[in-house]
Amino acid sequence: MFLKRLTAYALPAALLAAALTGCGSAPVSTPTGGAAVPPPASAVAAQPGVIPPALGDPTPTLNHPAAPPLRKVKIGLALGGGAARGFAHIGVIKALEANGILADVVVGTSAGSVVGALYAAGNNAGALQKMAYAMDEAAISDWALPLFGTKSGVLKGVALQSYINKAVNQRPIEKLKLPFGAVASDLKTGQPILFTRGNTGQAVRASSAVPGVFQPVTIGTRTYVDGGLVAPVPVRFTKEMGAEFIIAVNISTQTEAQAAVSSLEVIMQTFSIMGQRINQYELRDADVVIQPPLGNMAGNDFASRARAMQAGEKATLALMPQIKQKLKARRETPAVAVK
């Protein structure tokens, strides 16, 4: 009698359990020593973006997937050459910092190496502005006597080297706070050289040795001149130093915008003409190209430093929506090995 009652109660309970099993999603079980057992075919299959309906609720609920986390992207600044027009780089850095965009790598050519070294040493835009206003042109002008003598330059460049080394507290390039490179040209082979170690001031001096203005710089057994001959805006070298997102700053003159009068202006105009074709190749690999509207500002116009900084800031702010959009897109994409 007891067994009959037990059977009578057990049968409906078993049927109810079987019915409930067919109505809801079954949990995945893992038997001892075996693999996970999949749910029965009658279970509701999970679909991307949809939460299976609960019992008695026929309406599925959309489950919006969370946005992928933004990855860290190594930002590189490629600062071009242009003598006194290089003050515009400070305005660019100011606008970037104001929008939370900080460089991880800095590479500079000529005037770009001057600003780049000071920035890589840990000076923010405010400090760079103070240094720019305090800079005395005479302090970096050490005339070679006799003028136009046997040496191919009227300025030695030693004063510029000393100025930079003092500003970076005598630290070599590898001891600066940011990875930094200065581009120069090998006078014998015409090949570009990237200084990433050693005397910071000497590397900047070599990168800034405009032929006919500064004397060539001998380091070891090689002699170097201005890097603008081979890389007016060093985008390629910035990429080689590991930058994944490159902001290039082109401050070279537009040949139709400036009438060459003085000997320095003739030299700078010649550099500009030579560099335009090279820039077309270099700049195409940059993610963003900033070209401050410097108009006919001459390469020796140190009196216009404030205008140059304002032009750099203005040009950068105008491109800020584009910079942020491209940077966000890069942060959302998987990392790609830098070639």
pLDDT, position 63: 60
pLDDT tier at 141 (50, 70, 90 boundaries)? confident
Residue 302: CATH number of its domain? 3.40.1090.10
Is 13 domain-assigned?
A: no
Q: What is the mean pLDDT of residues 151-168?
A: 91
pLDDT, position 196: 98
Q: Given a cut of 50, is residue 45 above it in pLDDT?
A: no
**Domain that residue 111 falls in:** 75-252+261-330
Q: 282 exposed, middle or buried (CB, 10 Å; 0-12, 13-18, 19+)?
A: buried
Q: What is the mean pLDDT of residues 330-335?
A: 85
- Contact present, 260 and 282 (Cβ < 8 Å): no
Is 31 domain-assigned?
A: no
pLDDT, position 253: 75
- What is the number of domains present in the chain? 1
Partners of 248 in beta bridges: 78, 289
Q: What is the mean pLDDT of residues 11-21?
A: 41
- Contact present, 180 and 166 (Cβ < 8 Å): no
Give me the percent of the chain exceeding a pLDDT of 70.
69
Is 70 domain-assigned?
A: no
The rounded mean pLDDT for the chain is 82
Q: Given a cut of 50, is residue 329 above it in pLDDT?
A: yes
Is 139 domain-assigned?
A: yes
Q: Given a cut of 80, is residue 159 above it in pLDDT?
A: yes
Check if 142 is active-site. Answer: no
Model pLDDT for residues 66-110, shown as the tens digit of each residue: 656 678 999 999 999 999 999 999 999 999 999 999 999 999 999
Is 55 domain-assigned?
A: no
Q: Given a cut of 70, is residue 315 above it in pLDDT?
A: yes
Q: Cα angle at 13 between 11 and 15, to 5 degrees? A: 70
pLDDT, position 309: 99
pLDDT tier at 298 (50, 70, 90 boundaries)? confident
pLDDT, position 3: 39
Q: Given a cut of 50, is residue 30 above it in pLDDT?
A: no
pLDDT, position 264: 61
- Chain centre distance of CA 334: 17
Q: Given a cut of 50, is residue 275 above it in pLDDT?
A: yes
Is 81 domain-assigned?
A: yes
Question: Left, alpha or beta for 157 (phi > 0: left; psi -120 to 50: alpha)?
Answer: left
Task: Please state at what angle helix 125-134 crosses helix 111-120, rounded to 10 degrees.
Answer: 130
Check if 110 is active-site. Answer: yes
Q: What is the mean pLDDT of residues 103-128?
A: 98
Catalytic residue among 207, 226, 252, 272: 226
Separation of alpha carbons 166 and 204, rounded Å: 13
Q: What is the mean pLDDT of residues 152-156?
A: 83
Is 6 domain-assigned?
A: no
SS3 content of the chain, % helix, strand, coil (to 5): 40, 15, 45
pTM: 0.76
pLDDT, position 271: 63
pLDDT, position 44: 42
Model pLDDT for residues 51-63, shown as the tens digit of each residue: 455 545 555 555 6
Is 271 domain-assigned?
A: yes
Q: What is the mean pLDDT of residues 255-262?
A: 56
